[in-house]
Structure 1
Amino acid sequence: MVNRIRSLGAKKLSYAGRVVLINYVLNTLYSYWASIFLKPKGVIRRIEAICRNYLWGSSSDYHKVPLIAWEKVTLPKDEGGLGIKRAVLWNTDTVAKLVDWIYGKADRLWIRWVNQIYIKNKDWHNYCPPTDASWAWKCICRVKDIMKLTYIDDQWPEDPKGYSIRSGYEWLRPRQTIQRWKNIVWNKWNYPKHAMISWITMNNGLKVKDKLYQIRCSPDNRYCISDVAPETQSHLFFECSYSKQILLEIEKSCGFKVAGHNSRMNLHLIKPGIVADSIREEVKRRIRTNLSKEPTQNDKIWLRKWGMAVD
């Protein structure tokens, strides 16, 4: 895992790219060993530390303070996380597949061997391993004691097709409230980089001056454009007159309303109209990439507002 992170390409990835690499490369390396036996707690902690450090600092070592807690990061996207799997739960979940094979008396050589050496026609649901059993077998039995709480008549009731790693993980993980903003952040129209920044913002993770001042990393918490208010996320995006002028420009294309706000503005900034034009061009490029070949009538009306030609 560390060798993959140290490659030149991995170091240059954005936050969004690092999430993809963690999910489809680093976790894949771990998944093979996780399906065989339970890993020591120290190994689990090290694996999660490697993924966490890489996500926030592009390195396997600790260099940057995480913007969002790892418990939040490992939630599904619709519950406010990034969908990265928790290593300890994934380990338990994959080993539980072996438990399910024993419950179902699968026609496998290993199952026949286990029944001959250890179980010996005993009730698997209430089975306890002998003291001289191997460490790996005791690990499997520990997982069985966790998963048996939901088995009914030796059957996995969470999925009509039987036990699956997906349904097992969903049963093990803690549930959180579905976030109303999930479809705004995670949709095909957003660039992955923009979606990631939006996700950090929705979880109050941006390093605004008010937060840095509280941990004594900034001499003050005043907003750099106008010093009449602290620099918070809410002020930065919605309350500052500069931000509001940009939003009012975008309003002409999107149709949402932004309440007025008065504050002093630094005249050396890029004009809001120029920033709004840049945003509109980014949106147009994304629309051209994802637009279907046959847009609906409502789509055509909306596209004309953005100044895009529609046949």
Structure 2
Amino acid sequence: MCGPLKLNHLLFADDLLLFSKGTATSIMWMMRAFATFSSAYEMCLKKENTEIYFNGVPDLIMADILQVSGFRKGTLPFKYLGIPISSKKLTKNEGRKLTDKITTRIRSWGATHLSYAGRLTLVTSVLQSLHSYWSTIFLIPNSRMNRIDSMCSNFLCGGGGEDTSWRAPAVGWDHCCVPKSEGGLGLKHSKNWNKALLGKYIWWIASKKDHLWVKWISHVYLKGVHWSNYNPPVDCSWSWKKIAHLMCIFKPAYSADSWLGKASDYSVIEGYNWLRCPGPPVSWYKICWNSLNIPKASFIFWIYNLGRLLTKDRLVHMGGVIDLKCFLCSTDDENHGHLFFLL
């Protein structure tokens, strides 16, 4: 499959990936090429930092290759720039490494002493950026994305990333991911953000971008078939099956009246907004999120507008309050309207 594309090596920053037949003779010629390169440029290969990966090679030939090369035998998936490189689905252990990074970051903060506004800033600027790098490369399983959203929601409402069933979130996470102009907090829904980031690959294929990856996909998988009519084969890689599934999701966006059908280039923000289906704006948006407001006051006012403050009239339904009288005046029942307008 590499012949028509004349592909025999890949260069990634300071790393080199070479592909060869699984024979000792091929590896011997490769080692001679390394020796010639070293003598010409005075750059030696560090065998202790080099690994060799096998696929479908008998054990006897594998032992000969390891002896000829002197390389270490590596196992798939291997990591490059912190990302597991494999054609198979992410395992639970690999996905757990991503959530462990978020857990470690949360535990390093004194989150219980932060206000809602402070935790919101950390979720927006730190926690939701930790998985963005992974999301630009492959489609992360829904179970792992749901776990990430749950950790962010728990941290926002209670200050901890673990289970906080003792303190239910004041507002559901789906509503928190709505833009501020529509009554939310402007956070990113992890699954839709992951799909929007990968939408650029769909754009590359549709626009036939001059890219090595697009040429490989066109030669190996599409084979002249338009991507809108393409069905992935059963024996293709897991990552390609997920991208083919995204093609079906983004297919309506390529109509003449849609944003993607009119665009000259792909925009991740527009793709994300298209996936989430925008709603109507709220009237109190500019009052709540005014730049002159104190962030903590803006957050409390946001919860008030949604009617989710833990006033006594709401706590009585949870079985924790019997007396509904206001603690400040002891005359009227405590509710949102009384606290903010009748005192």
Is residue 86 of structure 1 aligned with residue 189 of structure 2? yes
Measured in 2, the distance between the counterparts of 1:71 and 1:210 equals 25
Report how far residue 174 of structure 1 moved. 2.8
Give the share of equivalent positions with the same residue, in percent: 39
Q: Which residue of 247, 250, 254 maps to 1:144?
A: 247
Q: Which residue of 146, 161, 171 maps to 1:60?
A: 161
What letter matches 1:189 in structure 2?
A: L
Instruction: Give the TM-score of the pair, scaled to structure 1.
Output: 0.73
Report how far residue 159 of structure 1 moved. 5.8
Say whether the 8 Å CA contact 1:156–1:162 is kept in structure 2: no
Listed as ranges, the matches of 1:78-227 within 5 Å are: 78-152=181-255, 157=260, 160-227=263-330
Measured in 2, the distance between the counterparts of 1:222 and 1:92 equals 49
Report how far residue 121 of structure 1 moved. 1.3
What letter matches 1:12 in structure 2?
A: H
Measured in 2, the distance between the counterparts of 1:227 and 1:199 equals 26
Q: Which residue of 205, 209, 234 maps to 2:337?
A: 234
Closer, same or farther in 2 for the Cα pair 1:210/1:156, shift >3 Å? closer
Q: Which residue of 3, 27, 35 maps to 2:136?
A: 35
Unaligned runs of 5+ in 1: 244-311
Closer, same or farther in 2 for the Cα pair 1:47/1:114, shift >3 Å? same
Report how far residue 217 of structure 1 moved. 1.1
Report how far residue 14 of structure 1 moved. 1.9
Closer, same or farther in 2 for the Cα pair 1:72/1:156, shift >3 Å? closer
Say whether the 8 Å CA contact 2:255–2:261 is kept in structure 1: no
Higher strand residue share = 2
Measured in 1, the distance between the counterparts of 2:186 and 2:248 equals 27
Is residue 51 of structure 1 aligned with residue 148 of structure 2? no
What letter matches 1:130 in structure 2?
A: P
Measured in 1, the distance between the counterparts of 2:291 and 2:126 equals 22
Partner of 2:90: none
Say whether the 8 Å CA contact 1:210–1:222 is kept in structure 2: no
Report how far residue 162 of structure 1 moved. 2.1
Measured in 2, the distance between the counterparts of 1:180 and 1:161 equals 33
Report how far residue 225 of structure 1 moved. 2.6
Measured in 2, the distance between the counterparts of 1:196 and 1:158 equals 38
Is residue 4 of structure 1 aligned with residue 109 of structure 2? no
Is residue 20 of structure 1 aligned with residue 159 of structure 2? no
Say whether the 8 Å CA contact 2:135–2:198 is kept in structure 1: yes
Say whether the 8 Å CA contact 2:155–2:161 is kept in structure 1: yes
Report the 3-state secondary structure (helix = DSSP H, G, I; strand = E; otherwise coil) of the residue aligned with 1:110. Answer: helix
Partner of 1:289: none
Measured in 1, the distance between the counterparts of 2:137 and 2:156 equals 27
Report how far residue 201 of structure 1 moved. 1.0
Report how far residue 158 of structure 1 moved. 6.1
Say whether the 8 Å CA contact 1:208–1:231 is kept in structure 2: yes
Say whether the 8 Å CA contact 1:158–1:167 is kept in structure 2: no
Report how far residue 88 of structure 1 moved. 1.1
Report the 3-state secondary structure (helix = DSSP H, G, I; strand = E; otherwise coil) of the residue aligned with 2:218. Answer: helix
Say whether the 8 Å CA contact 2:112–2:159 is kept in structure 1: yes
What letter matches 2:144 in structure 1?
A: V
Instruction: Give the TM-score of the pair, scaled to structure 2.
Output: 0.67
Say whether the 8 Å CA contact 2:208–2:214 is kept in structure 1: yes
Report the 3-state secondary structure (helix = DSSP H, G, I; strand = E; otherwise coil) of the residue aligned with 1:149. Answer: helix
**Greater gyration radius:** 2
Report how far residue 62 of structure 1 moved. 2.5
Measured in 1, the distance between the counterparts of 2:112 and 2:238 equals 38
The CA RMSD measured in Å over matched residues stands at: 1.7
Say whether the 8 Å CA contact 1:209–1:232 is kept in structure 2: yes
What letter matches 1:226 in structure 2?
A: C
